[in-house]
Amino acid sequence: MTRQFFFILLFSILISLGIGVGIGGRLVPQEGMPIRVVANYLHAVLQADRTFYTQHVVERMEDMLIVTATENWREERTLPLPAQFFKEASRGLQVAGKPFRYRLMGLWPLNPENAPHNDRERKALEQVVKYGEVTEQEIQIDNQSYYQAIFPDRAVSRACVNCHNAHKKSPKRDFKLNDVMGGLEILIPLN
């Protein structure tokens, strides 16, 4: 390495460092993370866990004829259906007193508990199903403000489609893979 090259390199490093410090010193520190980013992170984790359970546990066990997933999994000693797995995980989180909540919602739910709770939720869910995009709004529950995000809940496996299309209580029987079957609601308190 020549002396000239060394000095040019050193000079470039010092200039870059000076510019970086100058710009960094003027940046305003931010408090917290934007709530939409938090909801996106939560959704990504929840969706990854549920998809993994559906595709690599339920489908694999059923394909190998080891055990099936059924609605009455406790009594029949089978695997919980993916929606039940999801609901039980959410229930466990609520018991632990964590600040956020989540649940599945549907316009054609097999379980009435998964129906929208009011007209505002129904309208938001209709938008999610129609356009396949997230809806978000601020809502009030028991005098508490929440950020509500409803993400599209797609049929990620044949187990989802087969269960909903064949279920005796199903009001809709023409789901296909990747259809938006409903929504995944995430509620995050705003204070």
Residues 70-117: tens digit of each pLDDT: 788 889 888 888 888 888 888 877 666 667 889 999 999 888 899 999
Average pLDDT over residues 7-16: 49
pLDDT at 127 over 80: yes
Question: Residue 129: what pLDDT?
Answer: 94
pLDDT at 19 over 70: no
pLDDT at 15 over 70: no
pTM of the predicted model as reported, rounded to 2 decimal places: 0.76
CA distance 89 to 110: 19
| CA dist list (Å): 177 to 116, 164, 166 | 23, 11, 14
| Strand 79-80 with 69-70, pairing | parallel
Question: Residue 191: what pLDDT?
Answer: 80
